[in-house]
Every structure is written in structure tokens, then in C-alpha cells.
């Protein structure tokens, strides 16, 4: 194997490494062992993105930051750093030593572009101080509970950001947000994930709206005090127009009809390509879906995501809704994501037939309909990712588990472009194998392999409330 790799022209190696870095980063390591030339080309891809999740053991955090702190020449290759898990079991003395190593390692990441630090209680002053020296930092996702953990005023010194995402912001973090946002020259993306916290309000959004003149992406999740008034203040302030909008689990008093009327009158959503909405079943479903159709009727929509925050919505209740959405947007839709809402098999078949550019599809169907579903999926010629959920709320016994054999039978009905398939909590990568049969003919067969991308599958991130 090593001999074969050594004979590989170096000119095409970056193309191979780029593909491996996206799909199977752990397979990059053997390339470092081939030769010095291979190692020099591979190391930047190997360390370009570092992710630590909750299921990783604490030792990984230690090893990563020991490397970054002691090897500045390696740390400079890090562009993305995701700390979504942090060891809780370390002694206080061990934690203090680790944090000093982390601070130094972060300071060495001079080319860091995106940082995610979400574990509650793990963000420290030293982390924020180190990030201040990362002059290429453009994206920051962080836990907003600062009390007794970090000094929120240190955020004011991170001035290079274009994207900010805050999880469960404390009042003290919100208090520094206005002066902070006014120091940012080009804020393009803003996210608040509140999980039913009442702190982010219409008044707060209005107070920061002047700092959102370049905003293109707005996501509000679980902000139960936000009504259409606060959202409109941000939309009106954006001079470029939003291309992505997520309104998930906001105030039960959110007047969708008034929001639609104001948006259409001001043409505020003229550039909107992606929208995520939740259905509150305490409201009249027919009226709500009618308003949603009106809201997006004249926008260049490409990605549409919707889910119910209550019980599963039955398919017959949304038949007309989906027909109208497709009438307006079928030609452009690349992604359709539906959760906690059953869609009839006829509608799914219609989606696959009419949406010529569809590459991601997430739907809810009954387990007994899988065979018929597979037949309809065959029409989606560009489908790349498919995930099926069962309406688990309706199950009284153990939820059904799809077998790999059944999963593969569905995959074999789909387009050859499919690379990812999932059902409920299981996700596979779809791989192709070319063999030669007894007659010398090339035969392509598909297989399901364990999911091993560094990205969390999108279907596990879409439902927040």
C-alpha cells in the first residue's frame, strides 16, 4: 500500500485529501506515514477542523490541547474548533492545569476562523482572552451563562466576528450585546437559542437592530417572549435583506397574519432562500398554513423546514398546504425537511417528481408504508441525503427499528447520487463498490457503512424546541 501511495503524483494528492477530510478524516493519518512530502501535504487537512463532542472521553481534550500548546506549527493549521463536550470528572487541580494548556493552545491557533464552545460552565476568561488574539476569527458559538464562569465584558474585545450564536444567554451577556454588536463592522449571522427563556424580548431585538444592517441570517429558537414586532425590527434594519430566517418556538402570541402582511408590504423577504418554522397546534392549523403559504409565496425559496412543537400532525390536514408550496417553489427547492408532521405518500411522490433539484429530504411516514415510499423516492434524481422518521408519539410499544436489509432495499430504489440514509436515530453512509462478474461485466452495488463524518447528522440538529 505504501509503495502504491509513494507512486501517486503529488499534484492530485490535495484533491484526494480534500475528499477524505470531508468524509473520513481519520483516514488521513496513514498518508502522513508515506513520506515527508505526503506528510507536509496532509497535516494541514488533518488539523484543519477539530471537533470534541460529549461522547468523546476527557482524554481527547487533554491530548488535543497538549498538541496545540506544544506545537505552534501545527496549531496554525486549525481553522475550525468545536468544543461541544468538556470533561466534567477532572479534579479542580487537573482542570486548572488543563485550562492553562487550553489557553496557550488557543493562542497558537493564529488562523482560527470558527470556534464553538457550548458546554455549560466550561467557558473561561482565558478562553475569551485567547480568542481576542485570533485575528481571523469570523464565527463564535458559545454558552451564554456567564455568572460565576466568565466575565461577559471580555466579549467586547472580540471584534472580528461575522457570525454569533448564543445558547441560553444570561441577562448579563445580553446587557453587553448592544455595545458589542456596535463594534462589529459586518455581522452577517445572529442566533439565539433560549430553550424557553424569557430574557430575549422584542425590546432587546429592537435595541440591537441598528447593529444588524448587514445581517443575512437570523435564527431565534425557543425565545418565548418574541413576537412579530421584534422580528420585524431586525428585518427592517437589514439593508441587504435576509437570505435565511428561523422562527422556532417563539411567543404563543406571535401574530403570523400581521407578520405576513408587514413582510409583503415592505418586501422584507425579497432575498429569502431558507426558512424554518414551527407549527403551534394551539392555533387553527388551516389558518396557520394559509399564512405560511402567503409568507413565502413570492420569495426565491430553496430550503424549507417545518415541524410541529406538539403532537404529530396528520397527513390529510396538510394536503392542500403542500400542493401550494410545490406550486410556488418546486423548481427551486433543494432541501425539504419535515418533522412531527406526516406527509401522505402521494405528496412525497409529487415532491420527488416535481422538485428537480432536490438533494435533501427529511420526512415522517408510518413504518408499514416503507415499501410504497421507496417506489416514490425513485423519481428524485439528485437526492443526496434522505432521512425517515416514524411518528413515535403514536407508538404504544417499543418504537420499530429498521433493519439494515430494509434500509438497503430503500436505498436501492433511490438515485445513485444518494450518499447518506437514516431512519429515526440510525444513520448510514451509502457507499458503492464496483466488481467484475463472471462474464467480465462491471457491476456496481451499494452498501451501508457506519456514519463517520465529523459533522453531526443534520436530522439530529433540526428540531430544537
**Exposed / middle / buried, residue 239 (Cβ in 10 Å: 0-12, 13-18, 19+):** exposed
Q: Where are the domains of the chain?
A: 1-46
Question: What pLDDT digit, counting tens, does each position of 392-448 carry?
Answer: 765 555 667 889 999 999 999 999 999 999 999 899 999 988 887 777 787 788 999
Strand bridging mode 114-117 / 80-83: parallel
Question: What pLDDT digit, counting tens, does each position of 131-168 carry?
Answer: 999 999 999 999 999 999 999 999 999 999 999 999 99
Q: Which positions ≥6 away from 166 have C-beta within 8 Å?
A: 141, 142, 144, 173, 191, 192, 193
All cell numbers assigned to 374? 421507496
- Closest alpha carbon to 430 in 410, 443, 449: 449
pLDDT of residue 274: 98
Cα gap 459→386, rounded to integer Å: 10
pLDDT of residue 157: 95
All cell numbers assigned to 350? 409529487
- Closest alpha carbon to 304 in 258, 259, 245: 245
Cα gap 365→400, rounded to integer Å: 12
pLDDT of residue 2: 47
All cell numbers assigned to 243? 437570505
pLDDT of residue 58: 63
Distances (CA, A) of 103 to 46, 108, 129: 21, 9, 8
- Closest alpha carbon to 302 in 230, 244, 351: 244
Backbone angles phi, psi at 329, to 5 degrees: -130, 0
Cα gap 410→371, rounded to integer Å: 7
pLDDT of residue 275: 98
Low-confidence spans in the chain with pLDDT less than 50 = 1-2, 91, 465
Amino acid at each position: 500500500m505504501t509503495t502504491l501511495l509513494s507512486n501517486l503524483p503529488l499534484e492530485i494528492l490535495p484533491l484526494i485529501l480534500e475528499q477524505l477530510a470531508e468524509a473520513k478524516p481519520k483516514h488521513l493519518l496513514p498518508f502522513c506515514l508515506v513520506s515527508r512530502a505526503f506528510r507536509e501535504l496532509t497535516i494541514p487537512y488533518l488539523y484543519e477542523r477539530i471537533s470534541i463532542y460529549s461522547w468523546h472521553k476527557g482524554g481527547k481534550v487533554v491530548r488535543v490541547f497538549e498538541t496545540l500548546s506544544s506545537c505552534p506549527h501545527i496549531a496554525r493549521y486549525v481553522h475550525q474548533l468545536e468544543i461541544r463536550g468538556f470533561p466534567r470528572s477532572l479534579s479542580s487541580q487537573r482542570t486548572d492545569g488543563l485550562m492553562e494548556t487550553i489557553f496557550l493552545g488557543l493562542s497558537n491557533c493564529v488562523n482560527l476562523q470558527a470556534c464553538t464552545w457550548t458546554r455549560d460552565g466550561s467557558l473561561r476568561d482565558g478562553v475569551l482572552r485567547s480568542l481576542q488574539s485570533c485575528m481571523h476569527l469570523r464565527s463564535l458559538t458559545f454558552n451564554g451563562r456567564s455568572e460565576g464562569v466568565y466575565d461577559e465584558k471580555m466579549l467586547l474585545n472580540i471584534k472580528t466576528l461575522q457570525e454569533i450564536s448564543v445558547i441560553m444567554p444570561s441577562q448579563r451577556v445580553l446587557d453587553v450585546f448592544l455595545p458589542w454588536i456596535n463594534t462589529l463592522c459586518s455581522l452577517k449571522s445572529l442566533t439565539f437559542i433560549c430553550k424557553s427563556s424569557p430574557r430575549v424580548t422584542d425590546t432587546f431585538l429592537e435595541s440591537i437592530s441598528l447593529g444588524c444592517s448587514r445581517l443575512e441570517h437570523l435564527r431565534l429558537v425557543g425565545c418565548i417572549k418574541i413576537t412579530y414586532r421584534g422580528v420585524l425590527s431586525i428585518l427592517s434594519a437589514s439593508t441587504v435583506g435576509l437570505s435565511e430566517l428561523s422562527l422556532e418556538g417563539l411567543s404563543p402570541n406571535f401574530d403570523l397574519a400581521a407578520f405576513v402582511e408587514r413582510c409583503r408590504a415592505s418586501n422584507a423577504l425579497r432575498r429569502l432562500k431558507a426558512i424554518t418554522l414551527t407549527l403551534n397546534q394551539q392555533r387553527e392549523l388551516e389558518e396557520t398554513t394559509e399564512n405560511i403559504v402567503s409568507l413565502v409565496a413570492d420569495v426565491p425559496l430553496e430550503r424549507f423546514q417545518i415541524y410541529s412543537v406538539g403532537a404529530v400532525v396528520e397527513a390529510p390536514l396538510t394536503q392542500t398546504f403542500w400542493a401550494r408550496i410545490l406550486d410556488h417553489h418546486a423548481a427551486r427547492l433543494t432541501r425539504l425537511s419535515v418533522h412531527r408532521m406526516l406527509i401522505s405518500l402521494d405528496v412525497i411522490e409529487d415532491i420527488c417528481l416535481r422538485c428537480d433539484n432536490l438533494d435533501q429530504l427529511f420526512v415522517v411516514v408510518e413504518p408499514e408504508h416503507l415499501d410504497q415510499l421507496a417506489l416514490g423516492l425513485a423519481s428524485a434524481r439528485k437526492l443526496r441525503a434522505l432521512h425517515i422518521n416514524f411518528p413515535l408519539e403514536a407508538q404504544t410499544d417499543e418504537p420499530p427499528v429498521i433493519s439494515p436489509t430494509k434500509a438497503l432495499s430503500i436505498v436501492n430504489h433511490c438515485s445513485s447520487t444518494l450518499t447518506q440514509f437514516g431512519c429515526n436515530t440510525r444513520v448510514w453512509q451509502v457507499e458503492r463498490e464496483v466488481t467484475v462478474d463472471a462474464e467480465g461485466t462491471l457491476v456496481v452495488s451499494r452498501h451501508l457503512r457506519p456514519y463517520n463524518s465529523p459533522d453531526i447528522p443534520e436530522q439530529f440538529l433540526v428540531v430544537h424546541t
